Amino acid sequence: MARLFSPRPPPSEDLFYETYYSLSQQYPLLLLLLVIVLVGLLALLAVAWASGRELASDPGFLTTMLCGLGGFSLLLGLASREQRLQRWTRPLSGLVWAALLALGLGLLFTGGVVSAWDQVSFFLFVIFTVYAMLPLGMRDAAAAGLASSLSHLLVLGLYLGLQPDSQPALLPQLAANAVLFLCGNVAGAYHKALMERALRATFREALSSLHSRRRLDTEKKHQEHLLLSILPAYLAREMKAEIMARLQAGQGSRPESTNNFHSLYVKRHQGVSVLYADIVGFTRLASECSPKELVLMLNELFGKFDQIAKEHECMRIKILGDCYYCVSGLPLSLPDHAINCVRMGLDMCRAIRKLRAATGVDINMRVGVHSGSVLCGVIGLQKWQYDVWSHDVTLANHMEASGVPGRVHITGATLALLAGAYAVEDAAMEHGDPYLRELGEPTYLVIDPRAEEEDEKGTAGRLLSSLEGPKMRPSLLMTRYLESWGAAKPFAHLSHVESPVSTSTPLPEKALSSFSPQWSLDRSRTPRGLDDELDTGDAKFFQVIEQLNSQKQWKQSEDFNPLTLYFREKEMEKEYRLSALPAFKYYAACTFLVFFSNFIIQMLVTNRPPALTITYSITFLLFFLLLFVCFSEHLTKCVLKGPKMLHWLPTLSVLVATRPGLRVALGTATILLVFSMAITSLVFLPAASNCPFRAPNVSFTASNLSWELPGSLPLISVPYSVHCCVLGFLSCSLFLHMSFELKLLLLLLWLAACCSLFLHSHAWLSDCLIARLYLGALDSRPGVLKEPKLMGAISFFIFFFTLLVLARQNEYYCRLDFLWKKKLRQEQEETETMENLTRLLLENVLPAHVAPQFIGQNRRNEDLYHQSYECVCVLFASVPDFKEFYSESSINHEGLECLRLLNEIIADFDELLSKPKFSGVEKIKTICSTYMAATGLNATSGQDAQQDAEQSCSHLGTMVEFAVALGSKLDVINKHSFNNFRLRVGLNHGPVVAGVIGAQKPQYDIWGNTVNVASRMESTGVLGKIQVTEETACALQSLGYTCYSRGIIKVKGKGQLCTYFLNTDLTRTGPPSATLG
């Protein structure tokens, strides 16, 4: 039972819970209690009038009734004002309790002879409703319940103790009353504890659901922003749907498909312009930068370019080192796409000129633009990057490569679309590359109309140089200047990811202050943390309170039938009825308390006939058996020490909690046992008998007449049988999770049985008791509540309707609790799916070890992510034959089918990354048909430098095996596609700088001489071979691989290099081979 009284939560949650509890749950019950009392008083007057009693002859009773009607009507008027009730909850509850107590005491001394059993049922009603229907705390309710009990016992004890000894023994009756009141207090406290526990759980789940919804909304926004930072909206929706389906189905990286191809997310767009831009002189400048300076410089530069692109309706496609390219006319067609690209190119050149003038750093911008059509989309399974492909894209790239620094180089197709918007001049074709010379088409340089207005003297630059000092490195000078541009940090929108929800969810102060003026500025009681979300929090908080309000059970709802409270979804109704109920054992235990109270009462007020004793003995045995079944799991240790044949007993408790059929049967049987034993004493009385006290020759002076019928029980047991029947009604309310219809059936059955018993078959017993009480006063008739049969009938109906109201309330909140738990589970699952989606998307942009830097709850995004590594192996693997394979014709849907094959190649390469042995390989990007990857990036910064050479470069072997696996994959594709593609691979290892740049489309990349040389190893390589530098060859030989010299070759930007081919036909040989060198 101790588990029922859970620890009090933090004060902030108590405050919100009390607000909800008084408004949504106890407020309707208080109104119903007042209505029930008023209807009961009217029913008393009606019964008194219908039974032929002269109301005027009993002015005390009439005055009590009229005062009660007036007082409770006034209280109902006060309680009907919600705002006033909320502010004066405790005083109003105290007034209602005091009025009920005064009414009970008034009825006690009006209407006839005062007896020990008078108004016990009414005081039992007061005690139970104080717990179940008044908005009081447990302590206040317990104090009121005990005060009610003691007031009745003390008043009657003092009053009757001073009377002549003309009534049966007083002490046994007072003891029976004390047992009744004690049982009422325990049953009421039990009911309140269970209901408060259930309501608090529902409230917590509702608030958790509210916070979960907010978190889900936040997560949806984050993943939407994240997805849109990778892909255009039209493509993001399509790919998101597939990822969601994959997550919910629990599939691997490759979704099921009706064919053997991977999904292709590529579409053709016509009427676009492509811009390529390259920063001239940046490679030399980058070599002088620290890792932080390099990443900051790139982020600021490309952040500025992203701003320019947004201004001119261009979409950045990708960043390749210091090369930036974008497209105008995607995803929506734009009539001015050519003008947009030219304007952007001019603004980029202008920004670099200002940078050069301000810092004196010798860099420039070379821009090429071409207009035509493109295939755009995403290929591969990992590290998605939106890209474009077509011959027109290739031409735009060559326009940039053959352009003039500081100028925008355009083709004739772009010039035609400019429609004279810009003046141009012919480009010197003798400086063009072979690709353009082969095409033989004239190209043009755009004349910037604002170039003449700009001052190129570098005044600002000289000023900055003089301020910073003449000895400052150009890279640092440039970094200082670029910081003034204020480019956004990558994933800045993920900086406020909320921490996991707690059960005590903080709510806005506005929501609290809206409930009561006295709480409006009480910050000491209001939790902090959501001031920036007040409006949203207020609205959602009010929605939760409204959904928890018990008055909604009578209104149309999407979830409930307002009449039956059944769930509208049949599956949910079935799930609710089949749900487990661990608290059933407590229901049974408290019902046993009611049964035991009835037993004690009947032992006190009867002469304990043997038949009654035997009946109770059998019933006790049945109850003990029931309790043993319910609590058998708590006896596991004892049972396991006994014979093996009894080891199955602890499972009985689990069966009762989880099997609804067995639970309903046991619950119904328990209640029926209490019912039957409440009237057992009457069974031993005859159905009809002549009452000896009605004889005309009986004198009123015969005070020594016995209170017992000849051969039967004492007459005083009759009203106590009524009180035991009332306890039987209470036993129904103890099964909180019992269905309303079953409670209604049992209550109706018990009401019919009790009324039939006391108003019909055994009504003579009540008449006989009245005759004995009013011996000799033949003309005197007792009041309605002084006659046991009428008192019993009125009590039965009052308890019937009261418990029916509570049963309906309990049913509603049990179902509401189930509904909120189910909604919370669904929202948590959806949130988890969204979080997984966000994680997958982020890890599709960033390496797994970098992603937590941007989604951790403590991430503030104040600094750019950058990391330097001492030993990273970089791989470039290309399929050069694909350029010749690619063609654009109507047969292959203008190149779409060629890209489908490239998608298969890249996707198969990506599938290798999911193998455990390649877990250290990180895909960086794809550049057309070139695949770039690296190993050694998941090492801690500085860790490699502290290790010896063999350990620090051991991941080179993983990269070699990965390159060999790429070749094997390509062979399989060749076999199925009837092609003869061959792989050309370049490897190099050494120090690199890694970082995340770009706010619009954040991108993880690596930079450094190691990357540049690896790219040259691939571009100068041979088909089917893996070309490496001399240093990498030495490192691989130490790992057991064989390399042989290719000789000296000319490498662009590096001069003459001695390179080696890796002998991929041999596995690790153990001792180093002599072929190196």
What average pLDDT does this structure show over 933-953?
62
| pLDDT winner (highest mean) among 155-169, 548-562, 711-725, 769-783 | 711-725
Residue 406 predicted with pLDDT over 70: yes
User: Hey, which residues are catalytic here?
Assistant: 1016, 1052
pLDDT of the residue at 610: 82
Task: Please give the C-alpha separations between residue 176 and each of 172, 594, 602, 758, in angstroms, as whole numbers.
Answer: 6, 13, 8, 20
Q: What is the mean pLDDT of residues 7-23?
A: 53
Q: What percent of the chain has pLDDT over 70?
A: 76
CA distance 269 to 374: 5
Q: Which residue has the higher pLDDT, 673 or 1069?
A: 673
Residue 247: which pLDDT band, with cuts at 50, 70 and 90? low
Work out the average pLDDT over 167-172.
77
N- to C-terminal Cα separation, the chain: 84
Rounded distance between C-alpha atoms, residue 755 and residue 725, angstroms: 10
- pLDDT, tens only, 978-1036: 888 999 999 999 999 888 887 667 788 888 889 989 999 999 999 989 999 999 999 98
**Crossing angle for the helix pair 138-161 and 89-108, nearest 10 degrees?**
20
- Rounded to the nearest 10 degrees, what angle do helices 337-359 and 291-311 cross at? 140
Mean pLDDT, rounded, for 92-114: 89
pLDDT for 891:
84
DSSP 1041-1057: --EEEEEEEEETTTEEE
Helices of type H across 863-917: 881-885, 896-912
Tell me: pLDDT of 1059 over 60. Answer: yes
Average pLDDT, the chain: 78
Range of lowest pLDDT (651-665, 680-694, 801-815) = 680-694
Q: Check pLDDT > 50 for residue 255.
A: no
Instruction: Centre a 10 Å sphere on the Cβ of residue 386 and count the other Cβ atoms it contains.
Output: 21
Task: Say whether pLDDT at 97 is over 90.
Answer: yes
Half-sphere exposure of 778 (CA within 13 A, CB side): 7
The lowest-confidence range among 191-195, 597-601, 800-804 is 191-195
Written as six digits, the tokens of 885 are: 């394979």
Burial state string for 670-679 with b = 16 or more CB within 10 A and e = fewer than 16: bbebbbebbb
Residue among 342, 354, 341, 368 nearest 278 (CA): 368
- pLDDT(792) > 70: yes
Residue 850 has pLDDT above 80, yes or no: no
pLDDT at 557: 66
Does residue 268 or residue 52 have the better pLDDT?
268
Given a contact cutoff of 8 angstroms between Cβ atoms, the answer to whether 392 and 374 are in contact is yes
- Above 50 in pLDDT, residue 947? no
- The Cα 137–Cα 143 span in angstroms is 10
| Mean pLDDT across 406-428 | 90
Residue scoring higher pLDDT (948 or 67): 67
3 state SS of 128: helix
Which of 49-58, 167-176, 1039-1048 is predicted with the least confidence, judged by mean pLDDT?
Answer: 49-58
The predicted structure's pLDDT at residue 274: 95
| Cα dihedral across residues 894, 896, 899, 900: positive or negative | negative
Encode pLDDT of 481-527 as tens digits.
Answer: 666 555 555 555 454 444 433 333 444 444 434 333 333 333 333 33
Residue 426: the pLDDT is: 87
Better-predicted residue by pLDDT, 184 or 16: 184
What is the CA angle 672-673-676, rounded to 5?
A: 80
* pLDDT, tens only, 822-843: 877 887 787 777 777 777 777 7
Q: 61-75, 117-131, 443-457, 665-679: which range is least confident on average? A: 443-457
Instruction: For 851-873, give the DSSP string.
Output: THHHHSTT----S--EEEEEEEE
Average pLDDT over residues 357-367: 83
Looking at residue 21, its pLDDT comes to 56
Those residues with Cβ within 8 angstroms of residue 139's Cβ, 6 or more apart along the chain or in another chain: none
pLDDT tier for residue 437 given thresholds of 50, 70 and 90: confident
HEC sequence for 29-83: HHHHHHHHHHHHHHHHHHHHHHCCCCHHHCHHHHHHHHHHHHHHHHHHHHHCCHH
pLDDT at 294 over 90: no
Give the confidence band of 177 by pLDDT, cuts at 50, 70, 90: very high
DSSP, collapsed to helix, strand or coil, labels residue 649 as: coil
DSSP state of 313: T
Buried b (16+ CB within 10 A) or exposed e, 514-551: bbeeebeeeeeebbeebeeeeeebbebbeebbebbbbe
Q: How many other CB atoms are found less than 10 A from the CB of residue 390? A: 23
- At 253, the pLDDT band (50, 70, 90 cuts) reads very low
Upstream peptide bond of 331 is cis (omega within 30 degrees of 0):
yes
434 backbone dihedrals φ, ψ, rounded to 5°: -60, -35
Mean pLDDT is highest, among 580-584, 607-611, 721-725, for: 721-725
Q: What is the pLDDT of residue 501?
A: 38
Q: How far is 31 from 77, CA to CA, in rounded Å? A: 9
More confident residue, 507 or 541: 541
Summarize the confidence of residues 312-317 as an average pLDDT.
89
Q: Are 132 and 176 in contact (CB under 8 A)?
A: no
Whether the predicted pLDDT of 1067 surpasses 50: no
Q: Is the pLDDT confidence value at 786 over 80?
A: yes
Beta-bridged to residue 876, according to DSSP, are: 932, 986
Evaluate if residue 759 carries a pLDDT over 70.
yes
CB 545 within 8 A of CB 511: no
What is the reported pLDDT for 496?
45
Tell me the pLDDT tens digit for each residue of 877-910.
999 998 888 888 888 888 888 889 999 999 999 9
Predicted confidence at residue 544, as pLDDT, reads 58
DSSP one-letter string for 680-709: HHHHTS-SS---GGG-TT--TT-TT--SB-
**Each residue of 699-746: pLDDT tens digit?**
444 444 445 654 456 778 888 999 999 999 999 888 888 888 899 999
